Structure 1
């Protein structure tokens, strides 16, 4: 089962690593979108979250304090869902549906990140370090 969990980690972090690098290489465009959604200090926020996504993704992928990495990803996803994908503010039906889909995706991924947190704390399998946190 350790191999299955490793495959799941690889598939899970693929999105975050790509997005993190985009935050750092396409900062102006991404910060412009964030600013349009009311994110304060959008340029800085885009850079910080880019680093957060890369560190969290690599942590989960490599199993270097994967529990911390999973929390970093969840801590990105929940605020992002509410700040960037506030579907309840949309008046256009198509835009509302799109934002609701993105909101639900972020919340589902946050749930998966928390599940990975639990797995890393319990029995992380193929990792480079043990967990940073303890639940017991």
Structure 2
């Protein structure tokens, strides 16, 4: 099955979903996605390339979900967050079923941030989102 056509799982399944997506991209494009904060710059560049070559969001929805999952997994691994299922009000606000809760209790929407970068361009940087993120641990969390 093509991982880009898969639906998003619940919070408990996001780590496996993201790992499958990273493997999918590695097999097809050799992108060095290593779950580092620096790799989010590569996510920005990939999204910029997608903006230039594919203007229709529906055409790249699966890739956007996968890159959003990857961005969220970087928050989990490097900033102390954890995947959470969003409640009804949060789903309506974020337009996503899952988010990342940071150690200070705030919930962030990395999937939506990726969509914003695709739709709006460089002013919505995924890398900057991570670097300026409130509520993250000051020291990186080791990969699990």
Structure index of larger Rg: 1
TM-score where L is the length of structure 2: 0.32
Higher helix share: 1
